[in-house]
Amino acid sequence: MPTSESILNEMFFTWRGNRLYDFTTLASLDIKRNGDGQLYSSRESKRDGFEGWDKVHIEVWTPELFDDYQQDKDRERRRQLGDMVDEEPEPDPEPEPIAKVASIKIILKSKDNGVQNLTVPMNVEIAKLSLAFRKMKHIPDEREIVLSFDGEALDEESTIDEAGIEDLDSIEVHIK
């Protein structure tokens, strides 16, 4: 199942539970290489965070998953210190059923960039269609994309449903 772009934008990496940033280097993590090319941390003798002797084990997280992990880790630490007695976990509330949104197939046609078939939910915004076409066809950000249906430019803030687009309809893509 593909991960949505909003979730991908929130994800981050950690090593040994510490968040990594764009500027993080092996040297800033105090990871060194010995004469045999094996990696080690000069701060600790543990091998946690390494895969074999030549690879660093990095984990990817969403903020929610990382918070849950940190809470579980804190509970375990407190339990080991005797600060916390094992409790019966509260049952998770029943999740609300997710309403399934109907999807349709549409055809995006561009004079210079060909045809792109997409399956999209009826509640997707027109702006997201433009963004998807831009990424799929590698169109530079400085070029404007206008989507038209039945000869009229579509409002970027409206949805497929609001625009009256139906299954297998063609949408014209104009790139300026």
Cα-Cα-Cα-Cα dihedral sign, residues 74, 80, 84, 90: positive
Q: Is the pLDDT of residue 103 over 70?
A: yes
User: Mean pLDDT for the chain?
Assistant: 80
pLDDT confidence of residue 59: 83
Q: Is 126 helix (H, G, I), strand (E, B) or coil?
A: helix
Please give the backbone phi and psi of residue 136, each rounded to the nearest 5 degrees, phi first. Answer: -65, -35
Q: What is the pLDDT of residues 114-150, one digit of tens each?
A: 888 888 888 889 998 888 888 888 889 899 999 999 9
> For residue range 21-70, what is the model confidence (pLDDT) as tens digits?
877 777 777 777 777 767 766 665 555 555 555 566 778 888 888 888 88
Question: In this structure, are residues 153 and 115 in contact, taking their beta carbons and an 8 Å threshold?
Answer: no
If pLDDT is split at 50, 70 and 90, which confidence band does 85 have?
low
Q: Quick check: 152 pLDDT over 70?
A: yes
0.85 cut: is pTM over it?
A: no
In the chain, the domains with their CATH numbers are 5-81 (no CATH), 103-175 (3.10.20.90)
The answer, yes or no, to whether residue 172 has pLDDT greater than 90, is yes
Residue 74, pLDDT score = 87
- Cα 114 to Cα 54: distance, rounded to the nearest angstrom: 46
- The pLDDT of residue 149 is 92
